């Protein structure tokens, strides 16, 4: 055991420190966060459809007053799959929410260590990991915002850059599928951060490839990116191309969410929303420890400019560029660069800032260990101080204000949680839906008389027995959305939305067996096929190159 500990002591320390950072999540109950209650409902709805045999759920049947909503066509799926996995072992959806945050934090800490270790060794990797774990924005995401998707994206982003760097350093093609897999996981985790991290990763690849004109590495990196985008196309392609079928997605105005410079620098903490009352507004601080690292990094870069690795200069410049983009002074760029407005909140760039600073923390630690002006004991004290700064200055943030001691049914059975579309402002409703809709029976006659019986149903399929004396119009409580298909006595029939956006169809007189089901649209089918083919390519590529390594 002693030998094992000594061999893996740094990884063990990373595990211990990262687990300690989320110790408050092991408490019973649900922390009160901005998104936590939304996620509990999403987990429940997603698991319900998944349990019915739909491998990639897109429809949440119980939402919108039971009329359904295409929620999962647009919402990142990885946290939902993870919660379904943990729920299958008996964990509640509330506990699954916390387990998402716990495991994502630990995974991110490990990969930050592995990435930074390539440049700075074990000590530098450990320091980078601590700074990546103990940073105000991470605790804001966990205990104030409850953004499981962002925390998972923060977990796989350093994994992506680790695998790309290994591809550059070791030149082995096994890292092409690995990099592709990690990019796909970033996209599945959070689509907005995925775009942010993808752009940064592309610039990072260029930084490594251009000075040496390494065409082989560039080609391999592009292949890995295409592979990752291909695997994740089942999510991002329909979310992008079918965006026109829903309304209200652009409810946030980035111009109202620029933090003031003092908010980025001066420590503060609140549980309110962005743009709310300043006395309780959520924190946008970069963090005392992080600012300390930037100060030391700047001094070291000036002193070592002739011997400086280009990666260090790139990360330091990136910090100030990102800092500028978070301030109102950059509004002209936000107005004229379309991709920036997609981020919604300028302060969301803190996700990138925390990664940049964590990398530079490893650089600072390495330079201190190499410095000849300090005796060994003093070096150890300085390193210990650098490690303790982020921990001691953020521990007070690593806990919720209190816990809701509730069970899942508190959310899954109450109309106030499921009557909407499970999002602020009830977005994700279809463009055919009206603002006020009166609930009706699942199926009823709008015109004509007769009887309608539901013989079998699931979240996305209804078997009906319809009897009517003459031509009739049947109205369903289900919201119309492309993909809903009606077959009557084995023949496909037309459906259309009524004035409220609910499904209507016509039947002739007599007795009929009908089925109304939600199929994949052409876009969804094509995207799914691309994902399957890309996944098969990844597996074949991985197996082939792994076999070569073993030989």
Spatial separation of the C-alpha atoms in residues 198 and 344, rounded to whole Å: 17
Q: Do 309 and 457 reside in the same domain of the chain?
A: no
Distances (CA, A) of 33 to 40, 144, 510, 545: 12, 5, 54, 44
Secondary structure (3-state) at 421: coil
Q: pLDDT at position 129, please?
A: 98
Sorting pLDDT into bands at 50, 70 and 90, what band is 247?
confident
Sorting pLDDT into bands at 50, 70 and 90, what band is 458?
very high
Spatial separation of the C-alpha atoms in residues 164 and 114, rounded to whole Å: 12
Instruction: Report the sign of the C-alpha dihedral through residues 350, 355, 358, 359, in that order.
Output: negative
27 sits in which H/E element: none
Q: Do 143 and 228 reside in the same domain of the chain?
A: yes
Question: What's the helix, strand, coil split of the chain in %, to 5?
Answer: 60, 10, 30
**Has residue 542 got a pLDDT over 70?**
yes
Q: Do 379 and 505 reside in the same domain of the chain?
A: no
Q: Do 202 and 79 reside in the same domain of the chain?
A: yes
Token digits for 115? 């990435």
pTM: predicted TM-score of the whole model, two decimal places: 0.94
**Has residue 70 got a pLDDT over 60?**
yes
10-19, 274-283, 289-298, 426-435, range with the lowest pLDDT: 274-283
Q: What percent of the chain has pLDDT over 70?
A: 95
The residue ranking higher by pLDDT, 256 or 226, is: 226
Q: pLDDT at position 440, please?
A: 60
The residue ranking higher by pLDDT, 139 or 551, is: 139
Q: Do 451 and 388 reside in the same domain of the chain?
A: no
Select from 143, 52, 155, 159 the least CA-distant residue to 97.
143
Q: pLDDT at position 544, please?
A: 82
Token digits for 199? 């752009």
Q: pLDDT at position 426, please?
A: 72
Can you give the residue range of the structural domain that contains 72? 2-13+31-397
Token digits for 397? 């943030």
Q: Do 389 and 515 reside in the same domain of the chain?
A: no
Contact 292, 389 (CB under 8 A): yes
81-85, 362-366, 372-376, 380-384, range with the lowest pLDDT: 372-376
Q: Do 382 and 488 reside in the same domain of the chain?
A: no
Q: Do 511 and 369 reside in the same domain of the chain?
A: no
Q: Do 393 and 450 reside in the same domain of the chain?
A: no
Which of 364, 397, 430 delimits the end of a domain? 397
**Has residue 278 got a pLDDT over 80?**
no
Which of 342, 371, 397 delimits the end of a domain? 397
Sorting pLDDT into bands at 50, 70 and 90, what band is 254?
confident
**Residue 128 within any structural domain of the chain:** yes
Spell out the SS3 assignment of 197-249.
HHHHHHHHHHHHHCCCCCHHHHHHHHHHHHHHHHHCHHHHHHHHHCHHHEECC
Sorting pLDDT into bands at 50, 70 and 90, what band is 551?
very low
Token digits for 377? 């004991």
Q: Do 386 and 451 reside in the same domain of the chain?
A: no
**Residue 434 within any structural domain of the chain:** no
**Residue 527 within any structural domain of the chain:** no
Q: Do 349 and 497 reside in the same domain of the chain?
A: no
Token digits for 137? 């924005």
Contact 143, 31 (CB under 8 A): yes
Number of helices (H) and strands (E), helices first, in the chain? 21, 11
Rounding to the nearest 10 degrees, give the CA dihedral for residues 89, 160, 350, 97. 0
- Is residue 453 classed exposed, middle or buried when 0-12, 13-18 and 19+ CB atoms within 10 A define those classes? exposed
All residues at 6 or more sequence positions from 349 whose CB lies less than 8 Å from its CB, including other chains = 196, 322, 325, 326, 343
Q: pLDDT at position 283, please?
A: 93
Count other C-beta atoms under 10 Å from residue 2's C-beta: 6
pLDDT digit string, tens, across residues 299-344: 999 888 767 788 899 999 999 999 999 999 999 999 999 888 888 8
60 sits in which H/E element: none
Q: What is the CATH number of the domain that holds 494?
A: 2.60.40
Q: pLDDT at position 418, please?
A: 84
Token digits for 430? 């279809």
Give me the mean pLDDT over the 531-547 stretch: 88
pLDDT digit string, tens, across residues 39-67: 999 999 999 999 999 999 999 999 988 88
Q: pLDDT at position 135, please?
A: 97
Which of 338, 364, 397 delimits the end of a domain? 397
Q: pLDDT at position 73, please?
A: 96
Give me the mean pLDDT over the 282-303 stretch: 94
Alpha helices in 309-441 (DSSP H): 310-325, 331-336, 338-341, 350-370, 376-394, 409-412, 415-418
Select from 253, 303, 299, 294 the least CA-distant residue to 274.
253
Average pLDDT value over all residues in the chain: 91
Number of structural domains (the chain) is 2
């Amino acid at each position: 055991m002693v030998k094992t500990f000594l061999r893996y002591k740094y990884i063990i320390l990373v595990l211990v420190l990262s687990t300690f950072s989320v110790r408050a999540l092991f408490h019973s109950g649900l922390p009160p966060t901005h998104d936590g209650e939304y996620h509990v409902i999403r987990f429940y709805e997603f698991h319900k459809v998944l349990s019915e045999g739909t491998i990639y759920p897109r429809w949440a049947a119980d939402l919108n007053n039971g009329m359904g909503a295409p929620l999962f066509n647009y919402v990142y799926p990885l946290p939902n799959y993870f919660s379904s996995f943990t729920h299958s072992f008996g964990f509640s959806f509330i506990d699954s929410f916390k387990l998402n945050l716990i495991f994502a934090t630990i995974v991110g800490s490990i990969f930050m260590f592995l990435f930074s270790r390539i440049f700075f060794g074990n000590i530098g990797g450990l320091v980078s990991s601590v700074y990546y774990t103990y940073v105000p924005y991470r605790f804001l995401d966990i205990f104030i915002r409850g953004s499981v998707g962002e925390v998972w994206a923060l977990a796989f982003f350093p994994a992506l850059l680790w695998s790309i760097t290994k591809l550059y350093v070791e030149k082995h093609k096994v890292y092409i599928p690995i990099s592709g897999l990690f990019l796909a996981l970033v996209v599945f985790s959070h689509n907005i951060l995925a775009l942010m991290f993808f752009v940064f990763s592309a610039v990072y690849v260029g930084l490594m490839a251009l000075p040496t004109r390494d065409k082989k590495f560039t080609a391999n990196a592009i292949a890995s990116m295409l592979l990752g985008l291909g695997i994740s196309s089942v999510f991002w392609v329909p979310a992008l191309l079918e965006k026109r079928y829903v309304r209200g997605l652009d409810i946030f105005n980035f111009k109202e969410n620029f933090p003031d410079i003092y908010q980025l620098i001066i420590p503060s903490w609140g549980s309110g929303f962005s743009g709310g009352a300043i006395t309780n507004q959520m924190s946008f601080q970069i963090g005392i420890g992080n600012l300390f690292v930037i100060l030391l990094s700047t001094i070291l870069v000036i002193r070592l400019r002739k011997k400086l690795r280009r990666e260090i200069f790139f990360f330091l410049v990136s910090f100030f560029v990102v800092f500028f983009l978070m301030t109102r002074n950059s509004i002209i760029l936000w107005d004229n660069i379309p991709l920036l407005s997609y981020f919604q909140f300028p302060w969301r760039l803190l996700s990138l800032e925390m990664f940049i600073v964590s990398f530079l923390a490893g650089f600072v630690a390495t330079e201190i260990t190499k410095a000849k002006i300090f005796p060994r004991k003093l070096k150890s004290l300085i390193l210990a101080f650098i490690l303790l700064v982020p921990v001691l200055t953020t521990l007070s943030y690593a806990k919720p204000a209190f816990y809701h001691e509730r069970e899942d049914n508190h959310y899954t059975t109450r109309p106030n949680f499921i009557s909407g579309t499970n999002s602020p402002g009830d977005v994700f409703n279809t463009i055919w839906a009206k603002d006020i809709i009166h609930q009706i029976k699942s199926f009823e006659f709008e015109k004509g008389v007769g009887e309608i019986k539901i013989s079998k149903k699931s979240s996305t399929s209804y078997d009906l027995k319809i009897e009517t004396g003459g031509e009739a119009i049947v109205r369903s409580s289900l919201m119309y959305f492309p993909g809903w298909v009606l077959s009557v006595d084995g023949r496909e029939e037309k459906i259309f939305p009524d004035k409220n956006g609910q499904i209507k169809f016509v039947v002739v007189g007599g007795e009929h067996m009908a089925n109304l089901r939600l199929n994949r649209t052409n876009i969804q089918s094509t995207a799914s096929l691309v994902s399957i083919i890309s996944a098969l390519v990844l597996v074949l590529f991985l197996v082939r190159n792994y076999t070569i390594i073993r030989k």
